[in-house]
A and B are shown apart, each in its own frame.
Chain A
Amino acid sequence: DVKVTQSSRYLVKRTGEKVFLECVQDMDHENMFWYRQDPGLGLRLIYFSYDVKMKEKGDIPEGYSVSREKKERFSLILESASTNQTSMYLCASSLLGLPKNIQYFGAGTRLSVL
């Protein structure tokens, strides 16, 4: 069964802290994504990666960075957390180059920055 695992369901951090959100998939997918979801704004893409050490900016990359050192793991980094980064963060993965282009999501991490 397809599995995308995010390291934490709930996280509380202080303003200015460096925050790491981890995501692991066990499906050997090439693509991995980080979204944030806010009420009334839907899903917004932060970054995605189509291969190890490759990354592409999404719609809202400011204040975030990512790391993909292994195919199965994609990390989202908040260099200096701010209150406007309080949100639900969703990781997803998909296969590259097939006609299906289906994304599989993790359960999400609800981050609160105080």
Chain B
Amino acid sequence: DAKTTQPPSMDCAEGRAANLPCNHSTISGNEYVYWYRQIHSQGPQYIIHGLKNNETNEMASLIITEDRKSSTLILPHATLRDTAVYYCIVRVAEANFGNEKLTFGTGTRLTIIP
């Protein structure tokens, strides 16, 4: 799986858009970008994933650069409940035996400020 680099921490004012960057310059053509988050003392939660097109769901938007070497997760109107550690993961999408584990890096600790 390709290595990812994220800033260790970020702050965002409540109600504003939170933009979380991720660098993955060694990404391969068959690797997707996944985002998870982990709220304190809870299990990780899947947010969104994408290959090369921008994606949006009810939780967030994912913007992937044209060269696919970086991406940005956007929380459009951050609330206090969005305070969490956000993990960017790059990996192949198909479930092959022995290849299923998720490898979380250190992520970005996002703090939403009232």
Contacts and interface: CB of A to CB of B under 8 A. Distances in A.
B94 A105 contact: no
Contacts of B104: 42-43
A97 to B, nearest CB: 6
15 contacts: A31-B95, A42-B103, A42-B106, A48-B100, A48-B101, A59-B101, A91-B43, A97-B94, A100-B93, A101-B92, A101-B95, A103-B44, A105-B43, A105-B45, A110-B41
A104 B94 CA distance: 16
Given A97-B95, A98-B95, A99-B94, A104 B101 contact: no
Interface of A: 4, 31, 33, 35, 42-43, 45, 48, 50, 56, 58-59, 90-92, 94-108, 110
Interface in B39-54: 41-46, 49
A58 B93 CA distance: 19
Interface residues of B, number: 22
Nearest to A97: B95
A4 B98 CA distance: 22
B97 A103 contact: no
Interface of B is mostly: loop
Listed from nearest, the 6 A-B pairs whose CB atoms lie closest are A105-B43, A45-B101, A43-B104, A99-B93, A42-B104, A101-B95
Given A99-B94, A101-B94, A102-B49, A108 B41 contact: yes
A94 B36 CA distance: 14
Nearest to A42: B104
B101 A102 contact: no
B41 A104 contact: no
A100 B104 CA distance: 17
A94 B98 contact: no
A108 B42 CA distance: 6
Contacts of B95: 31, 94-98, 101
